[in-house]
Amino acid sequence: MISPTRNFVEVADGYLYYEQHGQGPDVVLLNGGLADVRMWDSTVAWLSESARVTTWDYRDNGLSSASYAAYSEIDDLAAVMDAAGVERAVLIGSSDGARRALGFAHRYPDRVRRVCAVAGSFGEFADASPAEAAARVVMREHFTRLEEILAADGIPAAAAYDVSGWCPMVNDADRRLLVGLAIANSRVLTMPVHHGEELDPPIKTRFAELKPPLSVLVGGRDFQGTQLWAARLATQAPTADLTTIPEADHMPMFSAPDDFRRFVTDALSA
């Protein structure tokens, strides 16, 4: 058994933490926004049996440095892949990590075998349909209430509320894990400005330009807005397929682990 690699890579105005486990074809995992590499522990346990798996922390998350000025999200991922010796990989991005993975795939299609976009989070819809506009009203209500709880009761209460909204189907142990990760990464929750910069124009307006194949996954118990973004991505991207797990929520690796494993295994063998 190969011992995991744990290291840091220097980037402009900071540093990034990454881990590498196993051996085989390269797979890079991208966290959800209020999480860090620990969200992938259960996935790495089985995925590293057949792949070389790289996980990493974004700036302001986990063991990576805090940000105080603008930086390129795409350049950060390139720096991690270079440092880890990953020339070309399958990217599996969860929530905000799906957005980051797709942005990287747009700029560097030759470095990406496939993107698995899991419950991708992209914010407001451009040219929203009535259903999309209604879904965003629900999301804005959630974020407004989150800000109220944060101001009145602090980070732990806000983290618990946020996880309950996104992940109604996870068991108690995983819920506590996700709340703990949100608390540990609460700098992201409290920053007045997000310093990470993506494509300009943003990837959410450029799905049709994506060249690598995509496997899109969404849970039937996720917010409706997430489900509609998954449908947009699968419809607009040239080479994409959509999988819906009816009883999964925003974090299917926790709420439907067996189905999530089948989805990833199928994507890697495609």
Q: What percent of the chain has pLDDT over 70?
A: 100
For residue 189, pLDDT over 80 is answered with: yes
Tell me the per-residue pLDDT of 210-251, one tens digit each, with 9 for 90 and over: 999 999 999 999 999 999 999 999 999 999 999 999 999 999
Residue 2, pLDDT score: 75
Can you spell out the DSSP letters for 128-196? Answer: --HHHHHHHHHHHHHHHHHHHHHHHH-HHHHHHHHHHHH-TTS-HHHHHHHHHHHHHTHHHHH-SS--E
Confidence of residue 1 (pLDDT cuts 50, 70, 90): low
What does the pLDDT average to over 174-189? Answer: 97
**Within 10 A of 151 (CB to CB), how many other CB atoms are there?**
9
pLDDT at 158 over 80: yes
pLDDT at 254: 98
Confidence of residue 118 (pLDDT cuts 50, 70, 90): very high
pTM: predicted TM-score of the whole model, two decimal places: 0.97
Instruction: Indicate if the pLDDT at residue 3 is higher than 90.
Output: no
Q: What percent of the chain has pLDDT over 90?
A: 97
Domains and CATH numbers, the chain: 5-129+193-269 (3.40.50.1820)
Q: d(Cα 247, Cα 250) in Å, to the nearest integer?
A: 10
